[in-house]
Structure 1
């Protein structure tokens, strides 16, 4: 019986461009993971990746100057080691010119200092000639409580919303019903009302609803859709929005079931592909929700009742075709906050803080606000009650049961 070849375990010899290199066998020279603090080992002076081979040119020059290879190499190595050897730095203290700074002692003193990110951002803006004007004394700093919250990105939040205001024009659609011979505004309202029910049934994120409606409107403005496929467009738009916004998106079969098997799985997937192709996969757009969360925060004092009232009015606006095509997302969000403050008798109706963050004055919101007041006034008698039922629940403070404002004038008060 032939003997089986045994591969040596200590070293493996491989070839690279004709030169033999000795590589340690896997697992033989692995070092145990030890302290990973910021202690700087002595080996660091020889390079980041371990000792480096001597430079032939440097060795030649040293030999010429000192008259001998051994002597020259020793002197050069000693000089380099003495020059580059760093002072040891530990996690608890830093040595700098004989002065010891204890980080642990100074940690409590630095809580109120600006973060490194904010400092670098300020320096970059100053270098580019960009300066932030100090807030007026009447404008409340709504991000002060989130100064130490990295997820709130307070250093960038204002710049982000400036960009949203510039980019929101891309998501606004013009009047497209004239190009839809089989559709009208009432059919659209019925579809959005049903999508709100589906959204609530699946317990989806609020961002998903606003994005789904945005996808529906943008697609209908680009392609003629027969009446029998309108619900299919709505289902596919919701599926796309779920995949974009949700952590656990509903399956396609869930949408088939909730539509009472009106459409097959293949039809939904084909329509999904058609919608994405028409929209050129542009899904990152500022919807009204993006502005709502910011403007609700700027509406001080803000509580659960105020927040739910704002979203109740905004969703009524989503169902209304005229509001959706006539006003930008930031205008709709601002008007919803304005009417909510009017309905809940907040005084003053429009503050300097809201004006600072929205960029709108009261007169610019009156027209859209009046439409929202009328929608609130007629929601009880409307046949489309998805939004009304949604906001009658106690967990949403039953804001839809509150009496609507008489008008959108600054001295408005709820109806008796």
Structure 2
């Protein structure tokens, strides 16, 4: 009985082993999914180094194709060379020398992979060099849904401003003023900047005030004692035109230390409007500054304050205000501001497109504005300097002037 049990146990082991082998035969091996490179038979039979299968990449396929084409061209050349040798032997049986094989010609369709990469690199380099250095930015893209921005008409509006700015610009008129000079005018404009700041008026009011003063002085000779009265009347008109809540007549009388009576100011207001024929809608440097600062991408508060500071320095100077048209003064102020803040490039294609000025056209005016900035702390007329030295204006007047636009040796720290 014990012997039978042992034999039965052995048979069970043999049957179990057969079942395992049968199951193994029924299992299917994982198939090649197409991303492995088969092992060359020569390497397996020759006992060479084991080939590591890697995923096929596009570069690897191109390299393999180039090698195949190169081998085909070589085989073709050798075959043709052998045929030529056999032919020569048949024609000249005495010559038993073996002719040297001619090197195969390069196949245009089977270029080496390195040459392909080199050609592509050169083509890419040519494409980069042909690309424009600067792209014109659409500065109105963010305001497309803002009805007050008038994006549909903004280009036409500023085109009209550029065409009509000559009508509101004044020329050199001091020779026609027997009792005042450019220095007195600068004192008046400096005082108007202080009054404008004291009343907390809109920037538009200041630029329109100076424009009204210059246009009136270019049309009528004014005694020295009435020059301040002209400034007050011009600001009163500008505030009525630009402000929601304009200062009253008594406010101007008080700010002048009661130097003039109420009736005098009203008569001057009437005289100015009569001489200007009520023509008040003129493009001042302000309307161009707003647009050009926006085109100074990326625009920020610092670049805006610096540009306004430099423009107001230009308003005080008689020569700058009369020789530079409003758009040119605004463009020069923005350019000088970018140089002051080291915003490179100093003049972009976007600014050139929207201003209509090249860098060379505004260079001289920008240098003059930077020279004013350089000496703003030392001169007596410091209204603009004090205004833009406050933190609410970013203290931009305290920045070092643009050294690139200053003459050598005159840069200040």
TM-score by length of structure 1 reads: 0.66
- Is 1:292–1:334's contact at 8 Å kept on the other side of the alignment? yes
Contact residue 374 and residue 412 of structure 2 kept, 8 A: no
Query: What is aligned with 1:303?
Result: 300
Cα offset for 1:408?
A: 2.6
CA distance, structure 1, for counterparts of residue 402 and residue 269 of structure 2: 41
Corresponding residue for 2:243?
246
Per the alignment, residue 290 of structure 2 pairs with: 293
Contact 2:134–2:348 (CA under 8 A) maintained in structure 1: no
Question: Do the aligned partners of 1:343 and 1:405 also contact (CA within 8 Å) in 2?
Answer: yes
Q: How many residues align?
A: 281
Distance across 2 between alignment mates of 1:201 and 1:137: 43
Q: Deviations over 1:176-235 (max 9, x none)?
A: 000111111110000000000000000000000000000000000000000000000000
Q: Is the 8 A contact 1:194 1:386 kept in 2?
A: yes
Report the alpha carbon displacement of residue 317 of structure 1 after superposing the two structures with TM: 0.4
In structure 2, the residue matched to 1:320 is: 317
Higher helix share: 2
Superposed, which structure 2 residues align to 1:10-409 within 5 Å? Answer: 138-408=135-405
Post-superposition offset of 1:415: 5.0
Structure 1 segments (4+ residues) deviating >6 Å? none
Q: CA RMSD in A?
A: 1.9
Shift in Å, 1:402: 0.5
Aligned counterparts of 1:173 and 1:297: Cα–Cα separation in 2: 27
Q: Report the CA distance between 1:405 and its aligned residue.
A: 1.1
Q: Which has the higher strand share?
A: 1
- Alpha carbons of 1:415 and 1:344: their partners in 2 closer, same or farther (altered >3 Å)? farther
Contact 1:168 1:286 in 2 (8 A): yes
Q: Distance in 1 between matches of 2:405 and 2:161?
A: 26
Distance 2:299 2:154 in 1: 19
Whole-angstrom CA distance in 1 between matches of 2:200 and 2:412: 33
What is the CA–CA distance in structure 1 between the aligned matches of 2:166 and 2:223, rounded to whole Å?
Answer: 27
Larger Rg: 2
